[in-house]
Structure 1
Amino acid sequence: MQSPPSPPRRRGRALRLLLVVALALAALLAFLISTPTAAALHHHASSSSPARALLVPRGTSSATTKQRLNLRTVREAATSTPPAGDPQADTDAVLLPDWEVLVLLHPGAASLGDHHNATCAFPGGAASPARSLGRMPASGRRAYTCAMPAPERRHKPPFRAPTLLISAPQKADGGAGAARSPPASGSGKELLRWSGRLVYDAAALGGDVLVFAKGVNPRQGVNRNASDVTCVYYRGRDASGDAVVASLPAATSAQQVFRCPPPPLPADGDLRVTLAVAGGEPIPSVATYTPPTLPPPEQKESKKKLICACTMVRDVGKFLREWVAYHAAVGVDRFFLYDNGSQDELEAQVRHLTSEGFHVTTHIWPWPKAQEAGFSYAAAAHRDSCHWMAFVDVDEFIFSPAWAQSTKPAKSMLRSVVAGGVEPDVGQLTLGCRDFGPSGQTKNPEEGVTQGYTCRRRAEERHKSLVRLDAVDTSLVNSIHHFELRPGFRWERSRLARVNHYKYQAWDEFKLKFRRRVSTYVADWTDPVNHGSKDRTPGLGFEAVEPEGWANKFCDVQDTMLREVTRRWFGAGFSKKVAPRRLGHSSS
């Protein structure tokens, strides 16, 4: 009789059996992974950005392929999408610097006002309050920002987008407001990152579509040829898939602005737009396209103002009244503020100024270090509203020594600068800058900057410009201080006016600049590069540490001319209301 197997032999047989089963399961799993199901495709489409769902052949060399993508390849790449009406389909989220998350709702999302309570609920369970920024200037999409909670930051990238929850504000009797369903959800979608390539906005203006993208032309003055860039229009995630409507060659490529032809087909719904570079895959995009609605030409011309002013702002509410009141007095008709993330009383100040009759409009521009692109958009968007645009900051005041003896301001003052003796082919007037120092001040002067800072550097530094908007080049290239002009137009240095730049203010104000600069191609204050650049402050390091003797630096010349003028015109200080009726003659 055969004896039973010994315990070691039984264990060896069992291990061999387990190994065979494990190998079979591994083979089955590999097969399932390599053959995506409809559910898997659905999940991929819902968790990827629209641009990443579009696949474009790499390495193509023919000019035809570079100009027009293979639409069949693109369409076949997206075989399944969430059902129509899925709230995830048209909500986007972008991770900005400092762990700030920007959430953009569907272009047609209903407005709930700015007083509703909003919360970003992240997939990991953490949440943070969301702040309403208002509507984007081109697309009209409602924008919110929130901070990514610390627990979410510890996750391994790619991060996932939050769900935006909105509820009604608390009732007057103390009870909670009625809860509302979230207007859109991005939970589970990939959170796009500002640190990489991104198409972030688009605007249909002047018969073309301006597409704004970072990462394509990352170096100042080095722009990729427009022939290498393709504009891709496609539908969002609907029942028929991510269908490409058109792929067209870009007309211009400069800085972060790309001029594209509009899609040839009439749009019966919202489209998205992105860029593909040199036959590569389309860039991740949060940009949407909506056909423009323009007023009749005669209506546009009747509303066109002679001089407007445009600036990008962040937390300058307490300085705004002085800047607006002064420039309105000397001839600026309208003011356009591009808000780059203000968290002060800017909105309240604008409301007050508007209620007093000043024409001040705020547009949100939440994109970090994208000032040049913002000015490019402004030059195109306001071309039908203004003949001339002054691109000056809130700490910069246009002034002519010829006004020094005037007993009161007049709107003809600045108008004479752009009208008197300026030839029709002059597309840009440059104004030299005089840089003022702290002038002994250790805190923000209550009487305002023009009356509080009176000592400046002797040497003239840089310039700002009055730009004839019809003369701006189609590329919209600018260096903040000036624009490139179309052929047939030229620059001219103004002999009549200059800019008083209150640049080096009391340290408590100046150190706020260390948060982040707004120019694309200028290093942040804390970046240890370009120490000797004119964009740096002499004697200042890379940290917000007050240099010894700061209050008395940059003081070569006592210049009280504008202080005396504003005292004569407005009285001591700008704390009281200055209504337009006090600002001189001929209200335009």
Structure 2
Amino acid sequence: MKAPPRLLPLLLPVPAASSRLFETTTRGRCAFLLLCLFLFVSLSIFLSLSPNQLLLRSFDYSPAAAAPTVVAARPNLSAFPSNSAVRESTGHLNKSSVPEAREDLESVSILFPDWEVVVIGPAGISGEEEESGFLCVYPNKATSPARFSGNLRATNQSIFTCWMPEKCRRRLQSPVLVRRKSPAEGGKARKTTKSLLRWTFLAYESLSTESDVVLFVKGVNNKQGVNRPAHELKCVFGNPDDSAVKTTAVTSSEQEVFRCGHPDLTGYGQNVTVGVRVTLELPDGVRVPSVAHYSPWRRSSVVVGEAKLQICAATMVYNAAKFLKEWVIYHSGIGVEKFFLYDNGSDDGLGIVVGELNREGYRVETVPWIWAKTQEAGFSHAAVYARESCDWMMYIDVDEFLFSPRWSSAAQPSDRMLKSLIPRKKSAGRVVGQVTIRCNEFGPSGRVTHPPDGVTQGYDCRRKLDNRHKSIVLLEAIDDSLLNAVHHFRLRGGGGGEQVGMGAAVVNHYKYQAWSEFRAKFRRRVSAYVVDWRRAVNPASKDRAPGLGFEPVKPGDWERRFCEVRDDRLKSLVRRWYGGLTAEGGGGYRMAWQR
């Protein structure tokens, strides 16, 4: 049978040149199809990744290269208490929620762990204005409420915190800080061109002394005990739009604290009283992004003509309002003359409680300290900041109470009690610059909720063995590096410390409280070098709760844990000093901080 005419061309011999052309075309088509398949698979994998996974693959942090680091993945927050929870408000992810009448404010934004964004806005804004409403507006028009968190001490710039909506986490763009306005007022909208700064690599605070500048920088000295040599670094002074900058040599590099000389700003052409940007320059010429401002040193007007206070106390707080009165009233009674609270972004009415205490005659100063995981740096800052007004500084937390068993028979507290633990400046021919006191750790003591009469009354069962210590430090004896391990400081050459026996003094650390309080610790650890509770690292560390995992899951026997010794010495003492029978009778007590 003859083949149909339409098939004849296929049966004819193909010339060699045509065959080679056919093979080349075929190979080209195959390569093209394989490329399309590869792109399709790659795109599918890309789209299947979560924003957290994309972020982990995007950033390979190296301090020398000045690249941003990995941002912590958002944790499971459902088990957090309401006062510490990080929850995304889905009601603010709608594009229509952007107000038409608004004022866009000049600001710079920093990405913190757990998708928190810290926004530094204009000076002059106070908490009283918050009722008017502030928002973080992202480039895709998603919004998040902006909460006022205080003002920077050096520049009076306002601090806000907001959350980055999940839809904004791929491109990591900076939001615009917006203040709602009435339609009659109108407002001007702007699109930000500023990059979103990374908290993991940032100069964040500066403090001037009479002789030098103290600069606080995250992301340069990342490992405890491993520091870049000071001679490799420079302090750089000048705002981003300045053509000329000034540099000075770094004289000390320890942890997140760097010291350098004052710049010569003669003829700088700027009113330096409002602050000049200061940062750190690395050996490869890279300058660390900065929100820190330099201001020349001026003697504090508060201490001019006043005698120094003998003993002050410094601590870092987050949502500690309900603990504060008990802690301040008790320690003031035994001799603490002033309290410095480094506020790590509290939103529980801490300022209201501080105001009440000051009106009652106590001296309490709040230092806005929004910076995450910077307890060592905060304590170094306090050592410099308070040196003009205080001789000794006691560094303890708001869940820690210092007492001496020798006070058990005292009918009333006395401001001489704490002073009796402080040695003279010279002892046996040497300067004693630090007193360390051991800690007893108390457990839940059967409590399921926070005791309304205070932690000293609610928790009376502890572990048998002491753990850790806290210190009272002579500020002028602290080494220029300001190096500390939270519990104690490095002292200048020739200075020494003394450890007080537990029969003379002890710190009651109410560490393992009712579960509703303890689980708040899973939010974030404050030390730069202590692993967060949720990270599965160092399970045997003394900074962890024995027998507790990495998630805020309540053990069934939590109320009975850490109870080896019944110890009600401080409980009885505090009740005698500060308790009074209730009007209802029946033997009930009401403490001074409950009034």
Match of 2:236 among 232, 239, 247: 232
Q: 1:488 to 1:186 in 2, by over 3 A?
A: farther
How far the C-alpha of 1:149 sits from its partner, in A, is: 2.5
Match of 1:102 among 96, 105, 118: 118
* In structure 1, distance between residues paired with 2:334 and 2:559: 31
How far the C-alpha of 1:186 sits from its partner, in A, is: 7.6
Q: 1:364 to 1:421 in 2, by over 3 A?
A: closer
In the other structure, the counterpart of 2:193 is: 188
**Residues 19-49 of structure 1 deviation map (CA, whole Å, 9 limit, x = unaligned):** xxxxxxxxxxxxxxxxxxxxxxxxxxxxxxx
In the other structure, the counterpart of 2:17 is: none
SS in 2 for 1:417: coil
In the other structure, the counterpart of 2:15 is: none
Q: How does 1:43-442 map to 2 (within 5 A)?
A: 91-106=107-122, 109-111=123-125, 113-116=127-130, 117-153=133-169, 155-156=170-171, 159-167=172-180, 179=185, 187-195=192-200, 197-237=201-241, 242-266=242-266, 268-269=270-271, 270-295=275-300, 299-300=303-304, 302-419=306-423, 423=427, 425-442=431-448
How far the C-alpha of 1:534 sits from its partner, in A, is: 0.9
* In structure 2, distance between residues paired with 1:88 and 1:260: 37
| Residues 121 and 127 in structure 1, CA contact (< 8 A), matched pair in contact too | yes
Per the normalisation by structure 1, the TM-score is 0.76
Q: 1:334 to 1:327 in 2, by over 3 A?
A: same
Match of 2:487 among 481, 492, 496: 481
Q: 1:90 to 1:281 in 2, by over 3 A?
A: farther
Q: 1:295 to 1:354 in 2, by over 3 A?
A: closer
SS in 2 for 1:342: coil
**Residues 521-545 of structure 1 deviation map (CA, whole Å, 9 limit, x = unaligned):** 0000010010111111111111111
How far the C-alpha of 1:559 sits from its partner, in A, is: 0.9
| Residues 457 and 557 in structure 1, CA contact (< 8 A), matched pair in contact too | yes
**Residues 234-257 of structure 1 deviation map (CA, whole Å, 9 limit, x = unaligned):** 2332xxxx3242122201000001
How far the C-alpha of 1:181 sits from its partner, in A, is: 5.1
Q: 1:506 to 1:362 in 2, by over 3 A?
A: same
* In structure 2, distance between residues paired with 1:390 and 1:231: 31
Match of 1:540 among 513, 536, 548: 548
In the other structure, the counterpart of 2:509 is: 501
| Residues 101 and 146 in structure 1, CA contact (< 8 A), matched pair in contact too | yes
Q: Which has the higher contact order (CA 8 A, sep 6+)?
A: 1
Match of 1:530 among 510, 535, 538: 538
Amino acid at match of 2:529: Y
How far the C-alpha of 1:357 sits from its partner, in A, is: 1.1
**Residues 197-227 of structure 1 deviation map (CA, whole Å, 9 limit, x = unaligned):** 2112212223311111111110011111101
**Residues 414-470 of structure 1 deviation map (CA, whole Å, 9 limit, x = unaligned):** 111115697371110001101111111121122211111111111111100001111
SS in 1 for 2:421: helix
Matched residue count: 477
**Residues 492-544 of structure 1 deviation map (CA, whole Å, 9 limit, x = unaligned):** 11243221111111111111111111100000001001011111111111111
Amino acid at match of 2:437: L
SS in 1 for 2:446: coil
Per the normalisation by structure 2, the TM-score is 0.76
Aligned-pair RMSD on alpha carbons? 2.6
Q: 1:112 to 1:317 in 2, by over 3 A?
A: closer
SS in 2 for 1:133: strand
Identity across the alignment (%): 45
Please, which moves more after superposition, 472-481 or 109-118? 109-118
The structure that has the greater radius of gyration is 2
In the other structure, the counterpart of 1:73 is: none
